[in-house]
Chains A and B, each alone.
Chain A
Amino acid sequence: MKGLSENERVWIARDYLKCSGCRRCEIVCSLSHEGKIWPEASRIRVFMLIPGVEVPHLCVQCHDYPCLKVCPTKALSINKQTEAVIVDKEACVACGKCIDACPGKIPYIHPTENYALICDLCSGRPKCVEACAAGRWNALEIIKKSDTHTFKLYAKTPEIITRDIASQIYGKKWRETV
């Protein structure tokens, strides 16, 4: 947030190796969106398919928004200012087509309600990043979004990310694990 003016678009940069796995991001996200501590309803989810390989997983705002294109009920829209995907809870039928279309399989269905959960960037001031910065972990950081960069490259499944990170820190044999 520092250095960014109100009207600039933000993007959440993520560095998996710096993630401590404290789940403070899940705590503040669910508190802010659901009023409760509710990891399974957090719009950012930390996957721990292998202990020590903690992967914060959240929407990357692809330039071509494949999720939007497949939504049969037009429940998904783009916020003009933040460019985040906004889910219309009433219109969404939880069909899961957006999940299939997402290259990172990032959206998922709310555990008790009938709609998909996707990061809305907290209207430009993401709580998860604040929580991460407060602890000086900086696994999540705010950067200025740029049209010239392919943020979509970050839209990978947690399995793929886990394989990459695990083989990097634990050795090649861990590639086969997930």
Chain B
Amino acid sequence: MKGYAGKFLEVNLSSENVKETILDEEILSQYIGGRGLATKILWDKLGKNWERIEPLGSENLLLMLTGPLTGYVPGARLCVSGKSPQSNGVVGSTVGGEFSVELKCAGYDGIIFYGKAEKPVYLFIKDSEVELKPANHIWGKGSQETLKILVKECREELASRFPRRGLWKEPQIVYIGPAGEKRSRIAVVAAKWAHAAGYGGYGGVMGSKNLKAVVVKGTGPLPDVVDMKKVSTLINKILDINFRNIVFRRWGTGNLGHDVGSRISSEPVRNWQEEWHNEESYGSYEFEKYWVKRYWADFGCPTSCLKLAVIRSGPFEGAITDNPDYENQAYLGPNLGIFNAEENIYLTALIDELGLCGIQTGNVLGFAGELYEKGILTKQDLEGVELKWGDAKAFATLAQMIADRKGIGDILAEGTHRAALKISKLKGVDVSLYDVTEKGIAIGAHGIRSEEDYPGYESYACSVQAGDHTSVARIPLDHGNSELRSLLYDTGVFCWFNFFEKEAQDLLWPFIEAVTGWKITEKQWIETVGRKILHIQRALLLLGGPDMQWVPRKDDDVPLRWYIPLGAGPYKGKAVDRERLNRDRKEYYEAIGWDENGIPLPTELKRLGLKDVDRKLDEIRKPLPKY
């Protein structure tokens, strides 16, 4: 089997048993890797009782999967998955860096974690030697300390075990911060720094298993491919196309911010009360002043959309982060009424350090900010914090409380949607208007009211990853931003950002063939291979549970706030048109093969050999009321 290392690691944290498994070619050729394979594994192992599986309980699985294209297609990523404590479905959450390549070089296509360790541990993999080690000394530590300690102690161990080999390069590491340890639903699985698998909340899952980090050193080559010469040619073509993407190369996604996100009115401002601002002080050039590295990249990547921002003096001295990227610029900036690059860099670095997700945390901080503005949350509720828009220090204090689950931070650590339900109950006031999420997941910083950004009306409502802006539903199904396309990237597993151009996208089918020998056409992907994965993901999202279950069709909606017209800017007055949303949603259901309530059709599931999924879905195919 080409492109694969051929083995998976199964680690039972409860029994400390580690074993190698081989997945047969039949499964891999259908579900490939990453998100596709995660969906299949989760369905097989947990599907029967899905609605009863507690995402933060020991019966959930934590998956770290590569794909056959990982390391070959420029821009390597790792796919982290499991039952999501945010959506109660499956999210294929990816993170850039070298970890996935190193894991394949160690001889593994992925790791499946079961159970829960009795005490904090980390997993150390050196090729086929795999060991669980105590992590008490790093439990409670932030990103910077965790990495420092692990790199040092693991390199020392390698040097003492293999003294004649010469200097060891650092092993690759994924880890959680304090927020993940506290089982926050908005915690990330992090890599390097400023790298995170954010959507899904798998940092909380990792923390619930008492797993602080996974460290890997793989000394082998990437697995053999069918035709290396062809792979090299395809790599070079993808590089050439992306060397031309001068905007992303120079500013990364930070080319948005004031210059794009706000100008086209799709950027969250003060908890989405607006999507437009005119603060020139928040443009790309303001951020460039803090960059100590203009081109920072992950394995094989021509684009280097990352930039290294550092604050060297003043009250925020010592802050280190990426760019920040557009999502963090928006969510930890205008969404909190902050229009100052330095404060945004500080907040982003803090969120990284705590192991929180910039999007989910920025969303819940904005939500709290608005409740404070409206007088629903008081200074007393916030343990003395005066949460005024624009006050970076106040929001930083609240972020720290979320990571520590201290005071109101304990409720906010559950993410915006769950916090909104709790606070509504506690205060006796309906706060759902301020809850800008989709099925438990805070929506990426790309609004749809102005209809100028890339997502459309159906995008979040019908996505199997809900608010995830990197996996939006689009019609027609062969749309350049279709969810089936995101699914391909997350299943491959590699970065989306080198595939904005059709010219590059078209190279992926020959790429798959040159690596694996499998001939998959775009048509086959859309109609069978990818579609099948999407249906299972959809089924698991609708099965949900145990703390909440989405109501078919009714919950395929957008946040209430988006039905309120934009109050300012060039798109003033624009709001989501409910009738059109209903129409677009219906059209999407029909195109993808779901019934009028968004449940995958029996005929469609049978066509794809998913009879077991069909039977399970009968449990939720009861007559639904008219909405």
User: Which A residues fall within an 8 A CB radius of B?
Assistant: 17-18, 20-24, 27, 30-31, 34-41, 45-52, 94-96, 99, 105, 107-109, 111-112, 116, 134-137, 157-158, 169-171, 173, 177-178
Contacts and interface: CB of A to CB of B under 8 A. Distances in A.
Contacts of A107: 166
A17 B98 CA distance: 19
A140 B109 CA distance: 32
B279 interface: no
B554 interface: no
Nearest to A46: B169
B21 interface: no
B320 interface: yes
Interface of B: 71-72, 98, 101-102, 105, 147-148, 151-152, 155, 164-167, 169-170, 192-194, 218-222, 224, 228, 232, 239, 243, 292-293, 295-302, 304, 308, 310, 312, 317-318, 320
Given A22-B299, A22-B304, A37-B222, A169 B166 contact: no
B147 A40 contact: no
13 contacts: A20-B301, A35-B228, A39-B105, A46-B169, A47-B167, A49-B151, A49-B155, A49-B170, A50-B148, A52-B193, A52-B292, A96-B164, A171-B318
A27 B72 CA distance: 10
B8 to A, nearest CB: 21
Interface of B is mostly: loop
B166 A99 contact: yes
A30 B221 contact: yes
A21 B564 CA distance: 45
A31 B225 CA distance: 13
B295 A137 contact: yes
Contacts, number: 126
Given A20-B296, A135-B302, A169 B308 contact: yes
A34 B192 CA distance: 28
Nearest to A95: B164
Contacts of B152: 178
A108 B308 contact: no
B220 A111 contact: yes
Given A17-B293, A105-B167, A135-B243, A111 B219 contact: yes
The 4 nearest A-B residue pairs measured at CB: A108-B166, A38-B221, A22-B297, A111-B219
Given A35-B228, A134-B243, A22 B169 contact: no
Contact of B298 (A22, A94, A111, A158): A22
A52 B75 CA distance: 16
B164 A94 contact: yes
A21 B296 contact: yes
A177 B221 CA distance: 30
A15 to B, nearest CB: 12
Contacts of A134: 239, 243
Q: By CB atoms of chain A within 10 A, which of B105, B148, B167 has the most? A: B167
B173 to A, nearest CB: 10
Given A22-B302, A52-B320, A137-B295, 8 more contacts: A37-B71, A37-B222, A40-B169, A50-B148, A51-B192, A51-B194, A108-B165, A111-B220
A136 B218 contact: no
A169 B310 contact: yes
Contacts of A105: 166-167
B295 A31 contact: no
A136 B296 contact: no
